[in-house]
Amino acid sequence: MIFFFSVLSFSCFAQAPMQSVDVAEFEKLLFATKAEQLIDVRTPEEFTKYHIQNAKNINYRNANFKREIEKLDKSKPVLIYCLSGARSKMAMQMMHEAGFVAIYELNVGINGWLKARKPVVEDLSGTGELSSAEYNTIVAGKGFVLVDFYARWCAPCLKILPIVQDLEKTHAGRFKLLTVDFDRNRLLVKEKCIVAVPYLIIFKDGKKIWEKQGEATKEELMTILELPN
């Protein structure tokens, strides 16, 4: 049965040089190819904290990306993924232009993989991270606390981060800002069930009063934090 499945899968590669697939199909392809050319195109920092077993890290954002993919076997299928599917789609196109015969990308990224409860190699030591106890102490404080879970590779995060930092500076003493790097605090984000960024949470006197996954406007935040115009 294993041999039959492998032949069937490989016979499809020539017909579909590029294809975005869901978690179930990606898992089947991993099995069929024995993860021989499984590529994680995220940053080294992201990769170190968690990745799919047997993956090799080639950072799509690195200037050497084109040079590094040339070291792969273009005649064999390549399976790629990133966090949510954005970078892997761009990497897939670049690989296609470079002459790879079969490229499959995980359309929901490793985030979708985790949501489907698929296994990863993950650093949950908590070493050098903000601990859950420290986090809980901060958000339990008196007054308003704004928590911003962000990542350095996330464009919406980099748009929101200076906004919240400016609010903290302009309205000094009116609220406390806690920024949490998603990639450097894997144990904490797992404990708090944060699976995507940006993720914003506002506490008042220790009670969570608002949270949002995705972008938020300055005006929206000012209203909830009761800041004057």
Which residues are part of the catalytic machinery? 154, 157
Amino acid 195 reads: V
CB atoms within 10 A of CB 207: 9
Q: Under 8 Å CB-to-CB from 70, ≥6 apart: which residues?
A: 98
Q: Which two tokens stand for residue 153?
A: 């590779």
Q: How far is CA 107 from CA 57, 81, 102, in A?
A: 18, 8, 15
First to last CA, the chain: 67
Phi–psi pair at 172, nearest 5 degrees: -55, 130
CB atoms within 10 A of CB 8: 11
Placement of tokens 């904490």 in the chain: 188
Question: Residue 80 and residue 129: Cα distance in Å, rounded?
Answer: 28
In the beta sheet, which residues pair with residue 106? Answer: 21
Q: Under 8 Å CB-to-CB from 65, ≥6 apart: which residues?
A: 41, 58, 59, 91, 94
Q: Which two tokens stand for residue 30?
A: 């991993």
